[in-house]
Chain A
Amino acid sequence: MSTDPQWKNPVIRWVDDRLPIFTYMDHEYQQFPMPRNLNYFWNFGALASIVLVVMVVTGIMLAMQYTPHVDHAFESLERIRRDVNYGWLLQYIHMNGASMFFIVVYIHMFRGLYYGSYKAPRELLWMLGVVILLLMMATAFMGYVLPWGQMSYWGATVITNLFSAIPIVGDWVVTLLWGGFSVDNATLNRFFSLHYLMPFVLFAVVGLHVVALHVSKSNNPDGIEMQGPQDSVPFHPYFTAKDSVGIGVFLLFFAFFVFYAPNFFGEPDNYIEANPLQTPAHIVPEWYFLPFYAILRSVTFDVLFIPAKLMGVLLMFGSIMILFILPWLDTAKVRSARYRPIYKFVFWVFLIDCLVLGYCGAKPAEGWYLVLGQVATLYYFLHFLIVMPILGKIETPLPVPTSISQAVTGSGGGGAAGATAAKMEKS
């Protein structure tokens, strides 16, 4: 299937002989074999890269107008909204784009969890994805500080203070983060600088993620490897067309929020300028951090010699770090939940558990909410540390199809499928 193309244009041939970018593009984005049975959940990787580009472009333009100074930051955002041509549009796209990024990436991750996309040989691909998530979180957190509203300021205060829980060096780390002895101008300046830097680091890791993907190729809903041309279709035109549908529908969703509910994901408190002397009644992070916030606050007691605060911080970071070792915690041989009847159920329980954590994160950590959050936190870790390793050993999977073409056509991958494959190669 992947034959080296013969470039007819002499300029293209001259360049390609010296730097084979055209051949590379042809291999990786034209002829590149994709499993023919992918469903629309496989759109979300492409969607995430689109949002990243949108965020970088709008962010660069906003940075041209933004003033990173405690006395002017809040006002500069108002000036962008009111006086910069289409400034309101840039700002609403960037603001809602952050939420869109997390919606898309969370769906992308749960897709991976459901179909076992993290399993061999895709462990590194998955781990690079977790690095991307961490970078996204750091970038989003620092970006949220820049408007210098009440939630920006107090969110920054709460989150940076977490590092003071680290034994011995904690206070030193916090002072380093702040660039002083409280969240102040120096903090805002370094957060702005890092907020501008990190998306480019993110870009690089996304590049590695894509390279790793192009080595192991896409997983698919049946969780079995492609065995030949009858199992695959070339990326172009099949997935350029299919991804475009996803992008179109996604842009509709995105545009709805930008134009008709731009403050839906935001907090009214962030339209009040930061005031170090006045703490808001409820400090809540952006919605995409709520599950982790619930985990952080779920530890209300000291665990052995570890103080409650440190334990909360450890669990919060642990809840993401645990994803790094997931490929080895899951002992099942079969990838896709489609052929794992018990895991399919467990997956939905885990998804609901994450939503419950998010719900608890939005509520004050007291009474019933606290208990619910603690139970959900416990289950979150049980899922990874107990359920996943044991389930792989005791579960009897359903019969897995021998090949993708068999799964698609219901036959042994003979006549009909072979004919289509032949026709595709012609086109």
Chain B
Amino acid sequence: MRKAIITLISAVAFGVTGQAMAAGGVEIPKRDWSFQGIFGSYDRASAQRGFQVYQEVCAGCHSLNYIYYRNLMELGYSEAAVKAFAAESEVEDGPNDEGEMFMRPAVPSDRLVKPFPNAQAARASNGGALPPDLTLMVEARIGGPNYLYSLLTGYTDPPADVEVMEGMNYNAYFAGHQIAMAAPLSEDAVEYADGTKATVAQMAEDITVFLAWASEPNMEERKGMGMKVMLFLIVFCGLLIAVKRRVWADVH
């Protein structure tokens, strides 16, 4: 029903139906996600696995600039676990009483430590390409989670007539098909703490769930409140219609 409404409205609203098409014009396959639908919520186990993939695979190059360590508690980690995890990284603080900057272990109120101090350093280490921040990646791409999943599982050998440039990699779903990032996921790239088999598809799904959470951590609160608001408004509308009919009864 909701999809039907959205499709209808989008058709009216000047044909924005091309949402599922990547910039390169490639059709992105749709998948079902736990966080879709009006009752959708983030699959915590999957998101935790995704966080593990982020730490062990993505975090070498990609920042999560708008996420604080404290936010990780929303994924079901205990406060102690988050503190311990934060303490593994060091952040610059200061100036202290002597006016010196100093390094200290991170605490939950710090942002996730960035892999590179600035964009120039990031480019220098990545052959001139800038690994984008991942916090909003799911919202910032047409196709959202489906696009991200497709991209991560879309590394294939290039067709015979395509010549891939030096330092680039062929990807079926990336706009223009040539992406600077080498295929990040390979079989058993991580060893999941919960024993799940780390296939490329599994890791792509988990990291997508994690990044979907990162892009909109209060999605569950939004949908929960939405349900209450909609139910209230439906009842309220019923009352208003009844009042209106009563008031107008002597005119009609």
Contacts and interface: CB of A to CB of B under 8 A. Distances in A.
Interface string A50-94: 000000000000000000000000010011011000001100100
A355 B14 contact: yes
Interface residues of A, number: 48
Contact of A89 (B15, B139, B215, B225): B225
Given A244-B243, A268-B141, A271-B139, A82 B16 contact: no
Interface string A240-280: 01101101110110011011111111001101100000000
Contact of B38 (A75, A78, A260, A269): A260
B84 interface: no
A40 to B, nearest CB: 10
B240 A258 contact: no
Interface stretch (A191-199, A219-227, A356-364, A381-389): A356-364
A394 interface: no
B218 A256 contact: no
B229 A259 contact: yes
A361 B248 CA distance: 44
Contacts of A92: 222
A89 B222 contact: yes
Contacts of B141: 268
B250 interface: yes
Interface string B38-58: 100000000000000000000
A252 B230 contact: yes
B140 interface: yes
B63 interface: no
A272 B2 contact: no
A21 interface: no
Interface in B138-188: 139-142, 144, 175
Contact of A268 (B10, B14, B139, B218): B139
Nearest to B135: A78
Given A281-B23, A290-B14, A260 B226 contact: yes
Interface string B73-117: 000000000000000000000000000000000000000000000
Interface stretch (B191-199, B203-211, B231-239): B231-239
B251 A248 contact: no
Contacts of A355: 12, 14
Contacts of A287: 13-14, 16
Given A241-B243, A245-B241, A262-B222, A252 B233 contact: yes
B131 interface: no
Contacts of B227: 259
Given A88-B222, A268-B140, A271-B136, 16 more contacts: A82-B218, A88-B221, A238-B247, A241-B240, A241-B243, A244-B240, A249-B237, A259-B222, A260-B2, A260-B226, A268-B139, A355-B12, A359-B15, A362-B14, A363-B15, A424-B251
29 contacts: A36-B251, A79-B66, A88-B218, A89-B222, A233-B251, A245-B237, A245-B240, A245-B241, A245-B244, A247-B240, A248-B233, A248-B240, A249-B237, A261-B6, A262-B222, A264-B10, A268-B140, A268-B141, A268-B142, A268-B144, A269-B140, A271-B139, A272-B140, A290-B14, A355-B14, A358-B13, A362-B16, A363-B15, A420-B250
Interface of B: 2, 5-6, 9-10, 12-16, 23, 38, 66, 71, 132, 135-136, 139-142, 144, 175, 215-218, 221-223, 225-227, 229-230, 233-234, 236-237, 240-241, 243-244, 247-248, 250-251
5 A-B pairs closest in CB distance: A259-B226, A271-B140, A358-B14, A248-B237, A241-B247
